[in-house]
Structure 1
Amino acid sequence: MSAIKTLLGVVCFGHLTSAVLYSSPTEFVPRDYDYIIVGGGTAGSVVASRLTEIPDVSVLVLEAGISHEGIINSQIPLFCTTLTPNTPYDWNYTTTPQAGYNNRSVPYARGRMLGGSSSVNYQVFMRGSADDWNRYAAVSEDDGWNWNNMQQYIARNERVTPPADNHNTTGEFIPSHHGFSNGSAISISLPGRSTPIDDRVLQTLQEQSDEFPFNPDMGGGDVLGIGWMIASIGHGQRSSAATGFLEPALPRDTLDVVVNSHVTKLVQTGTEDGVPSFHCVEFAEAAGAETKRVCASEEIILSAGSIGTPVLLQVSGIGNRDELTSLGIETIVHNPSVGKNLTDHPLLAGVWTTKGNDTLDSMFRDASLLDSYVTEWTDNRTGPLVSPIANHLGWLRLANNASIFETVEDPASGPNSSHWEIIISNFWAVPGIPMPAEGNFVTITTALISPTSRGELQLVSSDPFEPPLINPNFLSTDFDIFALKEAIKAIKRFMSGSAWEDYIDAPYGDFANANTDDEIEAFVRNSAASIYHPLSTAAMSPRGAGWGVVDPDLKVKGVEGLRIVDASVIPYMPNAPTQGPVYLISERGADLIIADLDDSIELC
């Protein structure tokens, strides 16, 4: 271990005797720590678990949100739609007015509890395409990030479990693409209950196979096509980073966790090798509350996410000098890349009414029926609540001769990667918009997977409790609006097949009037939102590059003692909801940390 531990001895507090989950900073009794992890979300939970698997490595996790324990809506898979936005479990951010959205601001949900967004998301679980990871390796000039090397982390990070209804899953996934770990891992499963539209989706894939081919498993690197959804659900219950990693680690006497602890500053503790050194943090329960300081002998690991991490860097003096100076923040490291390059998957839902009531919508309107299903879930972990928002999803591309490619280079990560995603739900599934009082619905959610628009975060003050201005800059390029318009045309073709004739009534709301190019564009700009996948605000770049925030080993450029392990380091959007790639980033990030801790450990 480094000599920093000795240098910081004056602020240490004795030896660890038992792991503790503290409910607030006022209860916290500090001790000696090798590592402090800022954020107990998806990434921080994994890193804490892996580090504390090593005897005598001590870790403190500081989480700004609450504990995940006892929050039933987070446990029941289908209640994912109740967790965000505008709840106690959400940071409740909002974007700036988006020019591409006709100057609308949209909610920007981020999980605020142990497990982070893995405790509140919609549980869709994928790892991305082989092209994605090979691009990350190329951009960072580190082959360790390529698809072949990352397979080892898939094997140990996930645990395939039977679906809640124990149906025969033959032909619904390819076991060799997945992990069956017996240690700390995320439980994943296929849908635990059939829906009335499953056979209709499969019939459509047969009838329109040229445009909508069946993909037996998107976990093997080629994501293109439509197939069965795999979700972060095990035995009928959500599996999060908190349940899969933190809970198994808590019995270890080398781990402490403090919730309701907002880290307000990274504290410079000196210099090492001529660069600023950071080994302490300050944190408080709320604005105006008593601030505490705690230090780590080895590293501070930032896992506060694509919003929290760059905000904390900037309020601590790491960012663009001009911007920091304007807010009265002393610049310690001038890095104009911090908080820039914000990228996200724009979301747009197309909704159809159905001719009958054979959807899940009626359940959500009938309190007594819903109560009976909650009882069934509580007693047996079965019933309609065990499944995610859909049983099928797909990843699709523009035609190679699409007109946009006459002027724009294809932004997809490779030929086996997509331009947009579709998720097919047997009920009203429009995030943030309440279900209408009447009617039954089928929803196809589209998301732009290879956006070229980039935005930024901007501090409004030096106050770490003040939310930043969040500008994803949605639909600011010709490619993005073109691709999302084509996605809307595609889902209309999908639903025009004979399988839907006796089931679908008509498109619903403004979607019904989106037929011509101009009408579709108006619908897109008036209705699109976010699927809540922000990335790239502290992106990795090659060692020595004049851009980017972290090196390929995830150490913050220009400082000592700081490493970032979370979604903010991912330089391009993946062909996946971001939880899966973040789990892999976290697994390799933990290995990189361990390799530095003990040079005798061989890292693949």
Structure 2
Amino acid sequence: MSLLSLLFFLSIAHLSTAGTIFTAPAQVTESYDFIVVGAGTAGCVIANRLSEDSSIKVLVIEAGISDNGTESSLISTPLLAGTGIGTIYDWNYTTTAQPGLNGRALGYPRGFVMGGSTSINGMIYSRGSSEEYDRMARVSGDSGWSWDSLQKYIYKNERHTPPWNNRSNVGEFDPHVHGYGSLLTGLTPTVFEHDLRVIQTTSEHPDMYPFNLDVNSGDGLGFGWLHATVGHGARSTSSSAYLHPALNSRSNIDLLLHSQVTKLVETTPKTFNSVQVAQALTAPKYEFTASKEVILSAGAIGTPQILMLSGIGPANHLASVGVPFIIDLPDVGNNLQDQVILTLQYEVNGTTLSPFLNDDAAVGAALAQWAENRTGIAAGNTVVNTIGYLRLPFKSPLLSMGDPAAGPNSAHYQIAFLGTFYPNQGQTVPATGNWMSISIVVQSPTSRGEVKLTSSSAFTHPSIDPAYFTTAFDIGTAIEAIRAAHKFITTSAWDGFIIRPYADAANLTTDAQVEAYIRKFSSTLNHPTSTAKISKDTEEGGVVGPDLIVKGANRVRVVDASILPAAVAGFPQAEVYIIAERAADLVKETWGLT
């Protein structure tokens, strides 16, 4: 064979082993065994794992855009984490006015891009306590969802990597609880003085503030170092870890971008293995059918919207927007849980990121260095490196009505430490000084809201009401968390470090003042869950059974954060990755795949 012939053969062979990326539904002419709706956290995992079997064909449908576009540095540069919010990479939802937040409506970010919200989030990888998973096993009646049963999927998902500068992580994490997966995680390349003081506090007061060697170990309490989804100097997402590798190496997986699933289509009574797709309200509609099943991974907002548009949901509500109901499932769109965040800021006597972030020339130089070789301060998670997961006192009156946490080793709230001035909405970042922020999050809220249709069109955003701070437990826990943060930084490890609190938090002495601060400044942490929650097959409530198949329906399964029974006392992306890994095996078992 001549060299020219060999090169031609290799090029053809390469092309034949790659999936196709379509940008319009009319381009899709193949037949598929599985259709995955949503190229987000779970969808990319499912698509990758199913396409491991070369005998089947997978189509992934993503409403959003490519993560390799001209502005993709916004979502791939670790230093720029969060700057993709409010851009072309965001669905740009808005909540209803929230009485618990003084009537404010909040922007509600969700990823409108390959990788979904893993492409625009804060990159924190924290699995939560083992009890979170055991609760899911208990609620679903399936022990396969327990922490012990999921260990092989935990190891299969994630892999610890060193920071770009190879800073030693010895003593900051437990290598035994990290695996060999394609999702890359790591610890900060840059340790600041406030991080060291956090760890020093755990050493001086271990009973009150225990050190947690690795918050990914299943031990849900204590203070430790945070893993971020960063590897080799860039953000690691479900797209970069799962979808791109599959598309680049397998001919049995295709991706359709810029195309919104408007509803599931009933092919025979109660069977929904087809989807209707369009690119705009007035654009032509197309239908694609999966010979086996549809996996709905559109997220805690998109999934209930699609189900309801398909006639699966609360019958009375569907009638109110002109959607004929097919399956009356009252819990679709209900039980929305989300977590709020607010920060306290302090000027400090030490070096933080504040002067760097206030220096446009320095930031520009760092971004240029990152663009050239993926190194420098822009190449790692440096803003939030340390965190504490805490519980209310055992005798707290807030627990008199019951404990919403997954178990006694699961947090009610967290306090995290940020090496800069992290503004709440409406605050202006000071132009000078070194600043540290402490973020407050209620991890196990009891407030529950809803997602409802506002029209029968998929191109109209649904109504999103997270119902923040509508219970005494939630507002009381937030007050307790702020008190705990103040107490933490008055220990001896912080002597001489705190200069002053920022003006807005300077006079938080009474509970009424603290509550007013909370209601004025709290915002979403972007962690919606539970709008299609899991339950036992024998229960009327819930939306999916333990196998994640929609109750009363055939050939449609939900795999995303909407199936979680409650808000996560960690960061939900980690749990969703793990759930998706097992869900892929459940699908394979159903259809006898390898």
Smaller-chain TM-score bracket: over 0.9
Task: Pick from 295, 299, 304 the counterpart of residue 298 of structure 2.
Answer: 304
Shift of residue 196, structure 1, vs aligned partner: 3.3
Q: SS of the counterpart of 2:100?
A: helix
Query: What are structure 2's unaligned runs of at least 5 residues?
Result: 1-15
Tell me if structure 2 keeps the 8 A contact 1:266–1:278.
Answer: yes
Question: 208-217 vs 552-561, which deviates more?
Answer: 208-217
Distance 1:324 1:454 in 2: 20
Task: Pick from 196, 199, 203 the counterpart of residue 196 of structure 2.
Answer: 199
Corresponding residue of 1:224: 221
Corresponding residue of 2:13: none
Asked if 1:373 is matched to 2:360, the reply is no
Corresponding residue of 2:12: none
Distance 1:89 1:444 in 2: 28
Distance 2:424 2:232 in 1: 25
Asked if 1:470 is matched to 2:464, the reply is yes
Distance 1:142 1:548 in 2: 15
Distance 1:217 1:494 in 2: 20
Q: SS of the counterpart of 1:36?
A: strand
Q: Which amino acid aligns with 1:381?
A: R
Query: What are structure 1's unaligned runs of at least 5 residues?
Result: 1-15
- How do 1:443-522 residues align onto structure 2 when only pairs under 5 Å count? 443-522=437-516
Q: SS of the counterpart of 1:293?
A: strand
Asked if 1:149 is matched to 2:149, the reply is yes
Asked if 1:79 is matched to 2:80, the reply is yes
Report Cα offsets for 1:174-233 as digits up to 9, x if no partner: 11111023xxx2011111222232222222222333322211111221121110111111
Tell me if structure 2 keeps the 8 A contact 1:164–1:193.
Answer: no
- Quickly say closer, same or farther: Cα 1:378–1:18, change in 2 above 3 A: closer
Corresponding residue of 1:69: 68
Tell me if structure 2 keeps the 8 A contact 1:353–1:441.
Answer: yes
Distance 2:575 2:259 in 1: 26
Tell me if structure 2 keeps the 8 A contact 1:428–1:435.
Answer: no
Q: SS of the counterpart of 1:148?
A: coil
Task: Pick from 235, 242, 246 the counterpart of residue 245 of structure 1.
Answer: 242
Asked if 1:254 is matched to 2:265, the reply is no
Shift of residue 382, structure 1, vs aligned partner: 2.5
Report Cα offsets for 1:378-429 as digits up to 9, x if no partner: 2332222223231111211111111223x32121111111101122111122
Distance 2:177 2:523 in 1: 32
Corresponding residue of 2:286: 292
Shift of residue 367, structure 1, vs aligned partner: 2.0
Distance 1:282 1:215 in 2: 48
Tell me if structure 1 keeps the 8 A contact 2:62–2:260.
Answer: yes
Distance 1:54 1:436 in 2: 52
- How do 1:267-282 residues align onto structure 2 when only pairs under 5 Å count? 267-271=265-269, 276-282=270-276
CA RMSD of aligned residues (A): 1.6
Shift of residue 369, structure 1, vs aligned partner: 0.9
Distance 1:310 1:65 in 2: 18
Tell me if structure 2 keeps the 8 A contact 1:81–1:431.
Answer: no
Distance 1:511 1:221 in 2: 34
Q: SS of the counterpart of 1:352?
A: strand
Q: Which amino acid aligns with 2:97?
A: P
Corresponding residue of 2:311: 317
- Quickly say closer, same or farther: Cα 1:432–1:67, change in 2 above 3 A: farther
Q: Which amino acid aligns with 1:416?
A: N
Q: SS of the counterpart of 2:125?
A: coil
Tell me if structure 2 keeps the 8 A contact 1:284–1:291.
Answer: yes
Corresponding residue of 2:55: 56
Tell me if structure 2 keeps the 8 A contact 1:428–1:441.
Answer: yes
Tell me if structure 2 keeps the 8 A contact 1:193–1:383.
Answer: no
Report Cα offsets for 1:264-295 as digits up to 9, x if no partner: 11111113xxxx11121111122222222111
- Quickly say closer, same or farther: Cα 1:208–1:193, change in 2 above 3 A: same
Asked if 1:32 is matched to 2:31, the reply is yes
Asked if 1:42 is matched to 2:35, the reply is no
- Quickly say closer, same or farther: Cα 1:111–1:141, change in 2 above 3 A: same
Corresponding residue of 1:174: 174
Asked if 1:161 is matched to 2:158, the reply is no
Asked if 1:565 is matched to 2:559, the reply is yes
Corresponding residue of 1:123: 123
Report Cα offsets for 1:488-533 as digits up to 9, x if no partner: 0011112223443433221113222222111111111111111010
Distance 1:515 1:25 in 2: 59
Q: Which amino acid aligns with 1:265?
A: K
Q: SS of the counterpart of 1:391?
A: strand
Distance 2:191 2:126 in 1: 21
Q: Which amino acid aligns with 1:62?
A: I
Corresponding residue of 2:135: 135
Distance 2:180 2:328 in 1: 45
TM-score, normalised via structure 2 length:
0.94
Shift of residue 430, structure 1, vs aligned partner: 3.7
Asked if 1:213 is matched to 2:210, the reply is yes
Question: 31-40 vs 97-106, which deviates more?
Answer: 97-106
Corresponding residue of 2:417: 424
Question: 505-514 vs 429-438, which deviates more?
Answer: 429-438
TM-score, normalised via structure 1 length:
0.92
Distance 2:495 2:356 in 1: 24
Shift of residue 434, structure 1, vs aligned partner: 6.7
Corresponding residue of 1:112: 112
Q: SS of the counterpart of 2:228?
A: coil
- What percentage of aligned pairs have identical amino acids? 42
Task: Pick from 574, 578, 582 the counterpart of residue 580 of structure 1.
Answer: 574
Tell me if structure 2 keeps the 8 A contact 1:265–1:282.
Answer: yes
Report Cα offsets for 1:21-76 as digits up to 9, x if no partner: 123335x2221100111100011000000000111211101101101114012111
Distance 2:462 2:456 in 1: 10
Tell me if structure 2 keeps the 8 A contact 1:192–1:236.
Answer: no
Distance 1:88 1:509 in 2: 35
Q: Which amino acid aligns with 2:201?
A: T
Report Cα offsets for 1:338-386 as digits up to 9, x if no partner: 0000001121211112346x32122233222111111222233222222
